Amino acid sequence: MTKKKKKKDVKKVEVKETKKLSKRTKICILIGCILVVLLIGFLIYYKVTSKFRYESFVKKIETNYGDKYEIKAPDVCYGNKIKCHNIKPKIKGKVDINKLGDNKIEFEYKYKKNKLVLKQTVKVKDLKEPEIVLNDEEVLVCPNGKILKLNLSVNDNLDGDITDKIQTTLNEKELVIEAEDGAGNKAQRKIEVEPKDDAKPIITINGKTTMSVIKGIEYNDQGANVTDNCDDNIQITTTGSVDVNTVGTYKITYSATDTAGNSNSATRTVSVKEREVGNKVVYLTFDDGPGAYTQKLLDILDKYNVKVTFFVTNQFPKYQNMIGEEARRGHTVAVHTLTHRWNVYESVDAYLADFEAMNDIIEQQTGSRTKLFRFPGGSSNRIYCGHNKTSVPDIINAMNEKGNVYFDWNLSSGDAGGTVSTDQVVKNVTSKMKNNSVVLQHDIKGFSVNAVEKIIQYGLNNGFTFKALDENSPTAHHGVYICK
């Protein structure tokens, strides 16, 4: 009994010793547990914190027109701060560097089921400043900054040649040249210069430098113009005068000085002469009036004591009183028609009736009738053919029987439709003026009336005498056109 019991007790002790863990074992188990917890935590952290990662991304980029451009994708990875997988993107879109405007680019990144799209706008702009090229080293500048010589060219990559857009500024001895293109890009160049102005003003006399006028006729000086290499606004000083009532030679001097002190002058010589009465006669005639410009014409004629002939109408009844004024001032008044309508050529009777009706008005205004007349369109007109093919020849015969005299012309001013220029009217008349010239003008044309004074001045200064027509004056007939 004793042995069995003892063995049983020993066995119990051994079991108890097996179940008891050592301190080391306990520590190891604890560490293992911690590691498992950490691993599980890391896996959770990795899963939760994993995402697409990139340091920076510029959504809008500008590049210069025409420059080579390389699309650069941002570096992107998927993961967390501990571990991140680099991803190669798929790029959509392109950049056209030869066209201004926005270009849309997309960078697409994929990692397993995850997707990221980054969008970028590349704006093609004109970012390049113009290029200023000096083609000649010699640069001449006035003290006030005006450029006398500057041979350069300015080219822009987009606008081309913009040389005409330069701006210059003179800062003592430094010339600053600036140019700006259409996109606002500015270029600047500085050049050392020696500003100077040693040139005299240039004086140009208007008209002739040597001329003559008839004694007693008003002299209107035409003056002179001045130009200067540096100064734009120089005043001319005029000295001297002309006494038109005293025969002699007179000097008119024009002087000018620029801001640098350079002076110059020019002189006109005017000779006042006695009027030479020659055998060259000119007959100025005016059709279609009286009208709005007749009063002005009469005043010009009075100024030079010149007598002319008016072939009048009643187209403008409110000026009818001017017919009497023409006669009172010593001019010849003749018939041109009552209304200046072409139906006067319907028949001989129609023309005669029109002539007498206009003569009635002339008699009311002047106290007498006239025997002088001018056909509308002249005796050689073809317009009458559409009315009565035999009217003009028959009218001439009928008017001759009554002692009436018709006048055409042999020098046209061109104011009936060929020109509307005062200067051209003057040229047309003076260039062809000769003895017994019968000149055609119209006093209802303002530009033609404005030419009369210069025509008279030319005639008087060249030995012509102006007279009014009478029954014995040259008729300057054209020759009647015979209708077929």
The DSSP string of 393-430 is HHHHHHHHHTT-EE---SEE-STTTT---HHHHHHHHH
Q: Is the pLDDT of residue 137 over 60?
A: yes
* Average pLDDT value for residue range 3-22: 54
Question: 311 with 418, same domain?
Answer: yes
Are 384 and 290 within one domain?
A: yes
pLDDT of residue 185: 94
Q: Based on the domain organization, do 426 and 294 belong to the same domain?
A: yes
Boundary (domain end) residue, out of 125, 144, 161: 125
Question: What's the CATH number where 433 sits?
Answer: 3.20.20.370
Q: Are residues 299 and 426 located together in one domain of the fold?
A: yes
The pLDDT of 180-195, averaged and rounded, is 93
**Tally of domains in the chain:** 4
pLDDT in tens, 25-48: 878 877 888 887 777 766 666 667
Q: Of 139, 160, 192, which residue sits at a domain end? A: 192
For 141-162, the pLDDT digits (tens) are 999 999 999 999 999 999 999 9
Give yes or no for residue 19 having a pLDDT over 80: no
pLDDT (0 to 100) of residue 15:
47
Confidence check: pLDDT of 286 > 60: yes
Asked whether residue 23 is domain-assigned, the answer is no
Residue 3 has pLDDT above 60, yes or no: no
Dihedral over Cα of 42, 46, 49, 55: its sign: positive
| Domain annotation covers residue 78 | yes
Bridge partners (DSSP) listed for residue 460: none
Same domain, 338 and 396: yes
Residue 89 domain flag:
yes
Residue-wise pLDDT for 188-246, tens only, equals: 999 999 999 999 999 999 988 998 888 887 788 999 999 999 999 999 999 999 999 99
Whether residue 386 sits in one domain with residue 299: yes
pLDDT computed for residue 45 by the predictor: 67
DSSP tag of 484: -
Kindly report the average pLDDT of the chain as a whole number: 90
- Based on the fold, state whether residues 446 and 314 are members of the same structural domain: yes
Residue 212 has what pLDDT?
85
Q: Are residues 314 and 417 in the same domain?
A: yes
Give the rounded distance of the alpha carbon of 62 from its chain centre: 38
Sheet hosting strand 84-87, strand order edge to edge:
51-53, 76-79, 84-87
The last residue of one of the domains, among 227, 250, 273, is 273
30 belongs to a structural domain: no
Alpha helices in 70-117 (DSSP H): none
Task: Kindly state whether residue 14 falls inside one of the protein's structural domains.
Answer: no
464 — pLDDT class (breaks 50, 70, 90): very high
Give 50-105 pLDDT, tens digit per residue. 899 998 899 999 999 999 999 999 999 998 888 899 999 999 999 999 999 999 99
**What's the whole-number mean pLDDT along residues 171-175?**
92
Tell me the mean pLDDT in the region 375-396: 83
Q: Does the structure show a pLDDT above 50 at 276?
A: yes
- Answer whether residue 20 shows pLDDT above 80: no
147 shares a domain with 108: no
CA 78 to CA 114: how far, in whole Å?
9
Identify the residue with better confidence: 387 or 399. Answer: 399
Domain of 99: which CATH number?
Answer: 2.60.40.10
Whether residue 162 sits in one domain with residue 249: no
> What integer pLDDT is reported at residue 316 of this predicted model?
96
Give residue for tokens 């055409």. Answer: 408
Using a pLDDT cut of 70, give the percent of the chain over it. 93
Residue 482 covered by a domain: no
CATH of the domain at 144: 2.60.40
For residue 9, what pLDDT is reported? 53
Task: Please tell me whether residues 380 and 425 are part of one structural domain.
Answer: yes
Whether residue 440 lies inside any domain: the answer is: yes
Residue 332: pLDDT above 80? yes
Could you tell me the residue range of the domain that residue 97 belongs to?
A: 52-125
- Are 284 and 216 in the same domain? no
Note whether residue 481 is domain-resident.
Answer: no
Closest CA to 301 of 280, 328, 274: 328
